[in-house]
A and B are shown apart, each in its own frame.
Chain A
Amino acid sequence: MPPLEDILQEITTFENHVSRRSFLGAAFLIAVAPKISLGKDDQHFLDAVAATLIPATALQSTGINVAENVEHLLRTGSAEHRRKVTRFLAWSQRASILYGGEKVALNARGSRFMLVRKMGRTLSSLCLIAFWADERALKLINDAEVRT
């Protein structure tokens, strides 16, 4: 299954978890107004999270902007999918207050709550797909091959 579809599935399972568990739902502050495109806050958040997952040298040498690529991926999909992703980002930003700010994707992996672990994995996947789906990232693979 293509990776973005995989992300949408993970977000849906995450949403189902939130709606089924009132305590955790409250922790994530359920009422998030859906948007159909990424706001400035979302872009800053995505770039900051991506910087914790991808080496700075890789981001610099390829010139890839993760938030721009997420926006591009969403543009090809439906409004429903865009709303899912923006709502998920809003939740993640709120959770980041408890889980180390921009390090939320990494810190959430160690949580005792399965819901938080799923959020961490989904957020990581979204940023990593947006980076590695860009052909400019192939340079990193090809350079490594030449070295070895």
Chain B
Amino acid sequence: MIRKLSSEHRRHIVSARDLHSSENHRKVLTEVYDACVIGSGPGGAVTAETLVQAGLKVLLVEKGPFIPQEQINFRVLDMSNRFGHVETTSGYRTVLYQGSALGGSSMIFGAVAMKPKQFVLDEWREKSGVAEFNAETLEPHYQYVAKVMSVTKQTSDLENRPNAIVREMASALGKPDDLVLVNRYTSACAGVGLCNFGCGVDLKGTMSNSFLPLALATEKLTVLTDCEARAVIGEKADGKWTAAGVAVSARDQVNRDASQTMTIKARRIIVAAGAFFSSAILLRSPGFPNRQSIGQKVFLQPHAQVFALFDEPMTTRGLFANGQYVPRNGVPAIYNFLGYLKEHHFWWLASILYPASLASFISHLPPQEHFEIMRQFHRTMSLTVTVKDDPAKSRIVLKDGRAQLDFEESKQDIESFRRCFSIAAKGLLAVGARRVFLPLLRPPVIEKPSDLNRIENLKFTYNDLISYSDHTSGGNSYGVDARRGATDSSGLVFGTTNVYVADSSLFPTAPGVNPSWTIMAFARHVANGILTRG
């Protein structure tokens, strides 16, 4: 169910830039909160909601701005670059894309809700040494999230042509049973296909129209936007480190440069800024314990897009309504194809496509050819392929106080991509694609089955691959002790009395599916642990 952020709710959303403008706002700096939650994405918003429902007074800190729904439109020219934050790995091999607005990554995700497969949960148990934390532990939390976020199983009657292609591919590859109908955070998708831009029709479940309105309605929550958490402040006493607050900087809306450092005082700190920034905040915290465990082994689950050109229309044109062009690209993904996940570590789904994204993707083509393919935009479709990765090296490090991901892919991950391209191209040709475009700087031409050999002979690294990651996880994984992880199974950081992690950085390995539902289930588990501990 979509909940609106009413004017009454918005009264409790304060920009850090306005903190000194009124007595009311200044209170944020003098109050001692029961908890300060860093990050308003799926981890932070769910944690905050659980804590305020139990009566705790909570401050939620968000680095990005609050973008009200009424400011969201369907123009790619207007919406680009507003909701997300881009980082690259230090080895400049791939990119990390994270939400940076109130609602965090829920503003940019495709609203696909999935649970990890059993073999992934087995990996987590083996890696962490924690036996009691399993599917049964998480299930009630999944259910609660499902209720708040309108998690809805997609039905085959929503199938558009790109989704039908994915279904036909599964059959052509001899794996029809490995196609699953996904759940999505929406009970009434309009099929605009611009989920990456917040959803102009407000039908996608995000934190801003689910957990945050619920939490704000309690009047126990204050949200501080445009505010970057720099470090947790605390000290060691009796062998344990106890946090007293968070050092934050207001961020200028236009320049987005940090300025004006302040301290927020709180009895508990919950870090939920995403796998990249959570580790950075903890590593920047003076005197923080067990630093050697923080930011280690981060997983990217890199995505790449495989495009195909067909002779028949894949999408239809949009409509002009109220002076705006509203695309009708169809429901983005109703199926997930998991036929090679366990064996070869990849999966795919039909992805969102609009002219600007296609134009960029095939920008290597000669101008006339590029133009002719663009004119056939409605005959193209794309698969987002994702690799459940296990990098050779991948850890968060600080360089001049700024976080970087020190990264090197593994041969196994490159092999997963190669195999994925080969099988996806084979499947696409089998169901009638006239040409397949691979996400490489110099892709081979794939127009007939005999061209598939070219993929087998390709030599490439992530440098040659046009890939990105918005499923970043790991870095502060839970474990049975400080040798096996950075936190215990309730998210409490080892060596501290009151610092918790509540986001995807808790995952011991890559989840192998879209992670948001599991992040929210973990966050509720962490919040319940905080309440139990008192």
Interface positions of A (Cβ within 8 A of B):
1-9, 12-13, 16-17, 52-55, 58, 69, 72-74, 76-81, 106, 109, 114, 117-118, 121, 124-125, 128-129, 131-135, 137-138, 140-145
Nearest 7 A/B pairs, CB to CB: A78-B256, A144-B375, A77-B81, A9-B95, A133-B356, A132-B359, A16-B92
Q: Is B29 an interface residue (CB 8 A)?
A: no
Contact status of A1 and B355, CB under 8 A, knowing A7-B360, A133-B76: no
- Contacts A141-B355, A141-B377 known; A128 to B81 CB distance under 8 Å? no
Say whether B86 contacts A8, CB under 8 Å.
yes
- 8 Å CB contacts to A: which residues of B247-306? 254-257, 303
Q: Jot down 17 A-B pairs with beta carbons below 8 A, ordered by A.
A: A1-B196, A5-B84, A5-B95, A6-B95, A6-B360, A6-B468, A8-B81, A55-B368, A58-B371, A76-B81, A77-B80, A106-B367, A133-B77, A138-B355, A140-B375, A142-B317, A144-B376
The answer to the question of B156 belonging to the interface, with a C-beta cut-off of 8 Å to chain A, is: no
Residue of B with least CB distance to A127: B363
Q: Which residues of A contact B256 (CB under 8 A)?
A: 78-80
* Interface footprint category on B: 35 or more
- On whether the beta carbons of B80 and A5 are closer than 8 Å, the reply is yes
Is B483 an interface position by the 8 A CB rule? no
- What residues on B are CB-neighbors of A6 within 8 Å? 95, 360, 466, 468
* B33, chain A: closest CB distance, angstroms: 29
| A141-B363 in contact (CB<8A) | no
Q: Which of A109, A124, A129 contacts B356 (CB 8 A)?
A: A129
Tell me whether A2 and B357 are in contact (CB under 8 A).
yes
Q: Are A132 and B88 in contact (CB under 8 A)?
A: no
Q: Are B368 and A145 in contact (CB under 8 A)?
A: no
**Chain A contacts for B134, CB-based, 8 A:** none
List B residues 424-465 near A (Cβ within 8 Å).
Answer: 441-442, 463
B82 interface contact, C-beta 8 A: yes
Considering the chains assembled together, what is the distance between the CA atoms of A133 and B360 in angstroms?
10
Tell whether, in the assembled complex, residue B355 and residue A132 are in contact, meaning their CB atoms are under 8 Å apart. yes
Give A142 to B313 CA distance when docked, in angstroms.
12
Q: Which residues of B contact A124 (CB under 8 A)?
A: 363-364
B18 at interface, CB cutoff 8 A: no
Q: Chain B's nearest CB lies how many Å from the CB of A42? A: 18
B346 at the interface (CB under 8 A from A): no
Residues of B whose CB lies within 8 Å of any CB of A are: 75-82, 84, 86, 88, 92, 95, 97, 108, 196-197, 254-257, 303, 317, 325, 355-360, 363-364, 366-368, 370-371, 374-378, 441-442, 463, 466, 468, 470
Contacting residues, chain A, for B359 (C-beta < 8 A) = 3, 125, 128-129, 131-133
- Contact status A132-B358, CB under 8 Å: yes
Majority SS at the chain B contact face: mixed
Whether A13 touches B88, Cβ cut-off 8 Å, given contacts A6-B360, A128-B359, is yes
> What separation, in Å, do the CA atoms of A20 and B319 have in the docked complex?
48
Alpha-carbon gap, A14 to B378, bound state (A): 32
Pick the contact of A73: B81, B196, B197 (CB < 8 A): B81
Asked if A118 and B95 make an inter-chain contact with CB atoms under 8 angstroms apart, the answer reads no
Decide: B370 and A133 in contact? CB cutoff 8 A: no
Q: Give complex CA distance A6, B84 in Å.
A: 11
Contact check, B363 vs A2: say whether CB atoms are below 8 A apart. Answer: no
Q: How far is the CA of A74 from the CA of B88 in the complex (A)?
A: 19
The residues of B that contact A12 with a CB separation of less than 8 Å are: 86, 88, 92, 95
Shortest distance between the CB of A35 and any CB in chain B (Å): 14
Complex contact B80–A145 (CB within 8 A): no
Q: How far is the CA of A69 from the CA of B367 in the complex (A)?
A: 19
Which residue from B76, B78, B95 sits with its C-beta under 8 Å from A1? B95
Q: How far is the CB of A24 from chain B (nearest CB, A)?
A: 14
A141 to B466 CA separation, bound complex (whole angstroms): 25
Task: Choose from B75, B363, B375 the contact partner of A128 (Cβ within 8 Å).
Answer: B363
Q: Which chain B residues lie closer than 8 Å to A131 at the CB level? A: 359
Contacts of A138 in B (CB 8 A): 317, 325, 355
Chain B residues with CB below 8 A from A9, complex form: 86, 88, 95, 468
Q: Is the CB of A55 within 8 A of B378?
A: no
The residue in chain A whose Cβ has the minimal distance to the Cβ of B371 is: A55
- CB-CB under 8 A from B196, the residues of chain A are 1-2
Q: Chain B's nearest CB lies how many Å from the CB of A115? A: 11
Contact B378 A73 (CB under 8 A): no
Contact B80 A135 (CB under 8 A): no
Contact of B80 among A2, A53, A137, A143 (CB under 8 A): A2
What B residues does A118 contact at CB under 8 A? 441
Known: A55-B368, A141-B375. A133 touches B80 (CB 8 A): yes
**In whole angstroms, how far apart are the Cα atoms of A53 and B363 in the complex?**
9
CB pair A76–B360 under 8 Å, yes or no, is no
> Chain B's nearest CB lies how many Å from the CB of A40?
22
Expressed in whole angstroms, the minimum distance between the Cβ of A96 and any Cβ of chain B is 17
Collect the chain A residues with CB atoms within 8 Å of residue B97's CB: 1, 5
Known: A3-B357, A12-B86. 8 other contacts (CB 8 A): A3-B356, A3-B359, A4-B81, A5-B86, A6-B468, A17-B92, A128-B370, A145-B317
Closest residue of chain B to A142 (Cβ to Cβ) is B317
Does B355 contact A133, Cβ atoms closer than 8 Å? yes
Residues of A within 8 A of B357 (CB): 2-3
A54 touches B367 (CB 8 A): yes
- Bound Cα distance from A137 to B375, whole angstroms: 9
Q: A9-B95, A121-B363, A141-B377 are in contact. Are A2 and B355 (CB under 8 A)?
A: no
Q: Is the CB of B355 within 8 A of A73?
A: no
Q: Is there an interface contact between B257 and A79, defined as CB atoms closer than 8 Å?
A: yes
- 8 Å CB contact of B360 from A3, A74, A77, A141: A3
Chain A residues with Cβ below 8 Å from B79 are 2, 76
Give the docked Cα–Cα distance between A131 and B442 (Å).
Answer: 23
- B371 pairs with A54, CB closer than 8 A: yes
A2 near B197: Cβ-Cβ < 8 Å = yes
Q: A1 to B86: give the CA distance in the assembly, Å.
A: 10
Q: Which residues of B contact A81 (CB under 8 A)?
A: 81
Query: Is the beta-carbon distance between B360 and A128 smaller than 8 angstroms?
Result: yes
Bound-state Cα–Cα, A81 to B85, Å: 10
